[in-house]
A and B are shown apart, each in its own frame.
Chain A
């Protein structure tokens, strides 16, 4: 098996795992098993084509639809689901909810404010550049967050300093309450890169194969000190903004949803892998079965896990100061 095939199979596995995890979060939310809100990214799994190619020590700034980052970076499902369930074994000790974190894997946390991570993960790239570590920092976001001025600031300084950043916009055409044409002067968000002389690529509808190539080029550029790249993936938000909202919130038409169901990232990717002889249907079924087992075991773990003890509330406000000293 070539390196290339191995990468594609990893991407496939992570896409399947991301979807299983997402579906489980949807189900757990519906069953009142979560202590946090879930913003589903079901249908946007193609972005794994970028994350799955990262090194363990690369940094990832992600959004509220973060399953693809978590699975690709290898964060244990137990920690993810326990965190969403408000349990002590969660990745943030039960204090974060949707704020899944894994410092050792470069997942440095999540900004609740949309776009708040533009500067943070550009800053992470500065730290990497100063110590000449050849680490890469990913700044991923959607079309809604891309309207925020902070993205311009991050693009500008990433370009000036040739920082090792890959900007990934998953343009799902739906921000929380507005459609793309209401908040964007033109539909190609990657053109934001033009005034900063940042190379950009636009990847068509849920095309994980094309995104894998674009991501490979962008990561190599960043690692070799050539600076940032902007990648835009055209995709679609298949579910409501958050699971609390009615599924058929009138921001998308059923026709659109059906059209995008026919452009499913995983199905299209599997078709290509089978055609190329990289995987068989039987092997796909094994991948799906393993993902099922992984997520079901984690769900059982999360539900059985104990909640944080009351004293946990007073920890981690500072690293070096006791609550009693700094209150």
Chain B
């Protein structure tokens, strides 16, 4: 067992990339943020081309459709590919390549031969630090809607490394969403290799009064909210699903069965968003056990404005989570017999 040591979120994920590129000679990376001059966007990424050379590290500039499609094609042809989409909003340019070629190709071509699709679409997501409504699209809901895709949303350095390792060993497409607000976050990361199975949520803080499911950076806000609520004697349970597909519905349902209340925190729009999907699944399973309507703290279907004062109105915050939890706790059925 190695000594405990701290790494940033990006360094942790990069450590998994380096380890997997050493382990898998057919694994290569292409896209915008893969070359040495991308260091300012992704600290340390320059080590890849130094160690693995130009055949396996291919900077392409801004050409989203091509890199996403080439990654899928290489995967179909026995390669393995880590595609850098730069940011989630740019990945929307490659909708067909990610959702149809990545997500549907296997199904569309049936059980023919040994079709494998080992491709990871890595993208940075964030609506807090981006400017203007087009850039400020996180698209977690869109990617979660992608049939045939797996979606990883690490919230800690430890998870960034373990989920990236799992992603790069998977034979199905993975959308790996790394949150820009977490890039400098530091945490304990073992030096040895490890993987985190997809579809296993983790309880970030135990509690009995209300369950909060928080996605990616929202985990930080939820933990801040939990501290504030604890000061008022309210203990919330914070669950981090870690992957949106597959979703660990079981862990969420079992927590809500205990607390009777659920708030889902997600940065995306409410409409067709992650919070809506998780909330709906939970009420389908345990409607009778709910003490209050499921609450959503997410973007109320507003294009994200630029001015900080307006952004605060729209985006989730710890205080909004606190308010949502209180609403759930204060709820009284009006028609109880």
Contacts and interface: CB of A to CB of B under 8 A. Distances in A.
A204 to B, nearest CB: 31
A103 B70 contact: no
11 contacts: A93-B111, A118-B66, A126-B70, A126-B73, A127-B26, A130-B28, A316-B106, A316-B111, A318-B106, A319-B116, A319-B171
Contacts of A317: 106-107, 147-148
Contacts of A126: 28, 30, 58, 70, 73-74, 79
Interface residues on A, range: 35 or more
A59 B55 CA distance: 20
A129 B77 CA distance: 11
A161 B58 contact: yes
Nearest to A101: B109
A92 B97 contact: no
Given A126-B73, A157-B70, 20 more contacts: A101-B113, A103-B76, A103-B113, A103-B114, A103-B115, A112-B100, A113-B100, A116-B97, A123-B81, A124-B79, A131-B78, A154-B66, A157-B63, A315-B111, A316-B107, A317-B148, A318-B150, A319-B172, A320-B171, A320-B172
Interface residues of B, number: 52
Interface centre among B56, B65, B73, B76, by most chain A C-beta atoms within 10 angstroms, is: B73
A50 B56 CA distance: 30
Given A116-B101, A126-B79, A103 B107 contact: no
Contact of B72 (A102, A123, A137, A154): A123
A69 B322 CA distance: 62
B11 interface: no
Interface of A: 59, 61, 90-96, 99, 101-104, 108-109, 111-113, 116-131, 135, 137, 150, 153-154, 157, 161, 315-321, 325-326
A312 to B, nearest CB: 8
B108 A96 contact: yes
A87 B245 CA distance: 31
A150 B171 contact: no
B55 A130 contact: yes
B107 A319 contact: no
A73 to B, nearest CB: 13
Interface in B164-215: 170-172, 198-199
B286 to A, nearest CB: 18
Interface in B121-155: 147-148, 150
A288 to B, nearest CB: 30
A95 to B, nearest CB: 5
Given A102-B113, A153-B63, A161-B58, A116 B69 contact: yes
A124 B70 CA distance: 7
Contacts of A91: 109-110, 112
Contacts of A96: 108-110
Nearest to B67: A119
A150 B79 contact: no
B337 to A, nearest CB: 36
Contacts of B101: 111, 116, 120
B71 interface: yes
Interface string B78-101: 110100000000000000110011
A119 B65 contact: yes
Given A101-B112, A318-B172, A119 B70 contact: yes
B105 to A, nearest CB: 6
Which of B66, B72, B116 is packed against the most chain A CB atoms within 10 Å? B66
Nearest to A105: B113
Contacts of B12: none
A53 B75 CA distance: 25
B73 A130 contact: no
Given A103-B115, A319-B117, A131 B79 contact: yes
Given A126-B74, A131-B79, A153-B65, A321 B150 contact: yes
Nearest to A126: B74
Given A93-B112, A103-B113, A150-B66, A124 B171 contact: no
A319 B111 CA distance: 9
Contact of B76 (A108, A131, A315): A108
B112 A113 contact: no
A139 to B, nearest CB: 10
B306 interface: no
Contact of B110 (A95, A116, A320, A321): A95
B157 to A, nearest CB: 26
Given A96-B110, A103-B114, A124-B77, A130 B65 contact: no
B68 interface: yes
Contacts of B245: 326
A99 B108 contact: yes
B246 interface: yes
Interface string B244-287: 01100000000000000000000000000000000000000000
Contact of B106 (A104, A111, A116, A319): A319
Contacts of B68: 119
Contacts of A125: 77
> 6 smallest A-B Cβ distances: which pairs?
A119-B69, A123-B73, A127-B79, A93-B110, A123-B70, A103-B113
B200 to A, nearest CB: 11
B55 A99 contact: no
Contact of A130 (B79, B115, B246): B79
Contacts of B58: 126, 161
